[in-house]
């Protein structure tokens, strides 16, 4: 619908006419001598016009307008008017337009129908909503400077090899449109494939952490080798999250999390093994790590080495999974129905399975167990 609407607004031919000059422009003209002396001394007439236009039509401050005008100038409002009109009819706000023009001011000199609209229409044709379109372009307006035929479409088709559904590709682009703007994405994906990362791993990376693929080829290659040196197999599912963790966590954050684990008795070797097994254990916030370790060690009496061998536990929700299930296990132990609470599988299995095995199967205690479980879940909510 929006495609036909925009086309009708542009009469399928091209350019909107110049909008009437507003009263604020007249006021600006009246003070032109002062303005020119303060901001435009020594500049040519078209630069003065550009500054006034940027203030009048885009809402820039005089200082910002002067800076932007050094990167783009025009003597007529015809093209800028038609560019702004196209953006506004697509749902862009004035503040978003200022952000876009501030980053890529040359867009104001573009032909909106030949240069800008085809790239907007491309995303809409792939299922992008109006809000997604606005968000994608606002976040990275350089998308509109890339060639549709030579870059955007080839990159999109390359991504579709791993994410066959347009909806998933649009989601990935919305998270980082660098995957169809930058030149690094294709080479970085090929590097992963050459190292044995399966296509499912590439799909996971594109869908979850597409920004990682914006790294330069050299940066990305170094990161891949670093993770391989830790002993992670590129063909395994843990490799991609490990790559993300190592590249996005700075040394200070990484060292603080290492210190938290060491506080609970983990050695360097145990930390490396846990990371290799479940890289997400290093992506959790320090307070989350502390809370989970404290609950298992201090409240349940577990040895921290058990957690080190099963680091996925760190990723479980303390309030919605660990605590409610732990209280059920403690009740079963107090009734002599299980030997102890160190039942690892009780924390790994889905909720439905947990209720079947540790609640409903104990018929005499089932009502009380279910009440206890629900009380703890409600408290967490």
Q: What is the pLDDT of residues 193-215, one digit of tens each?
A: 999 999 999 999 999 999 999 99
> 39 with 60: CB under 8 angstroms?
no
Instruction: Give the integer Cα–Cα distance in Å for 235 and 214.
Output: 22
Q: What are phi and psi of 275, to 5 degrees?
A: -65, -40
Do 237 and 151 share a domain, yes or no? yes
Q: Say yes or no: 243 and 327 in one domain.
A: no
* Dihedral sign of CA atoms 117, 99, 1, 143 in order: positive
The total of structural domains in the chain comes to: 2
State the Cα–Cα distance between residues 301 and 331, nearest whole angstrom: 15
Can you give the residue range of the structural domain that contains 193?
146-248
Which residues, 6 or more positions from 73, have their beta carbon under 8 angstroms from its beta carbon?
A: 44, 46, 47, 49, 50
Report the greatest alpha carbon distance in the chain: 92
Chosen domain end from 206, 224, 248: 248
Q: Which of 229, 248, 267 is the last residue of a domain?
A: 248
**Does 323 lie in the same domain as 241?**
no
- Is 351 a member of any domain? yes
- Residue ending a domain, among 231, 248, 265, is 248
Residue 10 has pLDDT above 70, yes or no: no
109-118, 290-299, 336-345: range with lowest mean pLDDT: 336-345
- Same-domain check for residues 240 and 324: no
What does the block give as tokens for 82? Answer: 């038609």
At 76, list the tokens. 């007529």
pLDDT in tens, 292-315: 999 999 999 999 999 999 999 999
d(CA 195, CA 190): 9
Are 232 and 320 in a shared domain?
A: no
Within a domain: residue 289? no
Average pLDDT of the chain to the nearest whole number: 87
Statement to judge: residues 235 and 326 lie in one domain: no
The verdict on residue 266 lying in a domain is no
Q: Is residue 150 part of a domain?
A: yes
* Structure-block tokens of residue 318: 């303390």
pLDDT > 50? residue 260: yes
Instruction: Report residue 236 CA to chain centroid gap.
Output: 23
Tell me whether residue 5 is exposed, middle or buried, using C-beta atoms within 10 angstroms of its C-beta: 0 to 12, 13 to 18, 19 or more: exposed
Q: Is residue 165 part of a domain?
A: yes
The pLDDT of residue 121 is above 50? yes
**pLDDT single digits (tens) 131-172:** 999 999 999 899 999 999 999 999 999 999 999 999 999 999
Task: Indicate whether 53 belongs to any domain.
Answer: no
Interacting residues of 375 by C-beta distance below 8 A, sequence separation 6+: none
pTM here? 0.76
Torsion over CA of 18, 24, 29 and 32, rounded to 10 degrees? Answer: -130
Please give the pLDDT value at position 7: 53
- What pLDDT sits at residue 18? 35
| Predicted pLDDT of residue 30 | 39
Phi, psi dihedral angles at 291 (to 5 degrees): -65, -45
Q: Cβ distance 39 to 51 under 8 Å? A: yes
The answer as to whether 364 is a domain residue is yes
pLDDT at residue 8 tops 90: no
Residue pair 90/2 in contact by the 8 Å Cβ criterion: yes
Residue 183 lies inside a defined structural domain of this protein: yes
């Amino acid at each position: 619908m929006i495609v036909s609407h925009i086309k009708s607004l542009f009469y399928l031919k091209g350019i909107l006419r110049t909008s009437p000059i507003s009263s604020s422009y007249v006021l600006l003209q009246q003070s032109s001598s002062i303005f020119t002396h303060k901001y435009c001394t020594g500049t040519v007439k078209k630069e003065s016009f550009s500054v006034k236009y940027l203030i009048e039509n885009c809402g820039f401050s005089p200082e910002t307008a002067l800076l932007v005008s050094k990167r783009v100038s025009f003597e007529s409002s015809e093209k800028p008017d038609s560019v702004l009109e196209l953006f506004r009819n697509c749902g862009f706000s004035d503040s978003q337009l200022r952000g876009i023009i501030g980053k890529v001011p040359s867009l104001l000199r573009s032909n909106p129908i030949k240069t800008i609209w085809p790239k907007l229409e491309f995303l809409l044709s792939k299922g992008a909503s109006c809000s997604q379109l606005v968000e994608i372009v606002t976040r990275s307006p350089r998308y509109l400077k890339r060639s549709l035929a030579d870059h955007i479409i080839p990159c999109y088709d390359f991504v579709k090899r791993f994410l066959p559904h347009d909806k998933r590709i649009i989601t990935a682009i919305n998270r980082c449109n660098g995957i169809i703007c930058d030149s690094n994405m294709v080479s970085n994906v090929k590097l992963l494939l050459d190292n044995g990362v399966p296509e499912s791993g590439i799909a996971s990376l594109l869908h979850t952490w597409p920004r990682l693929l914006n790294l330069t080829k050299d940066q990305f290659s170094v990161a891949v080798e670093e993770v391989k040196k830790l002993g992670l197999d590129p063909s395994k599912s843990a490799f991609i999250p490990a790559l993300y963790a190592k590249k996005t966590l700075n040394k200070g954050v990484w060292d603080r999390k290492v210190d938290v684990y060491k506080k609970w008795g983990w050695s360097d070797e145990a930390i490396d093994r846990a990371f290799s097994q479940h890289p997400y254990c290093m992506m959790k916030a320090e307070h989350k790590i502390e809370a989970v370790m404290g609950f298992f060690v201090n409240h349940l009496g577990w040895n921290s080495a058990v957690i080190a061998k099963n680091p996925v536990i760190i990723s479980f929700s303390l309030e919605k999974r660990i605590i409610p299930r732990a209280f059920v296990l403690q009740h079963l132990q107090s009734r002599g129905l299980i030997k102890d609470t160190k039942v690892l599988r009780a924390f790994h299995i889905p909720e439905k399975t947990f209720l079947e095995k540790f609640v409903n199967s104990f018929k005499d205690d089932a009502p009380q167990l279910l009440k206890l479980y629900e009380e703890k879940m409600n408290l967490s909510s």
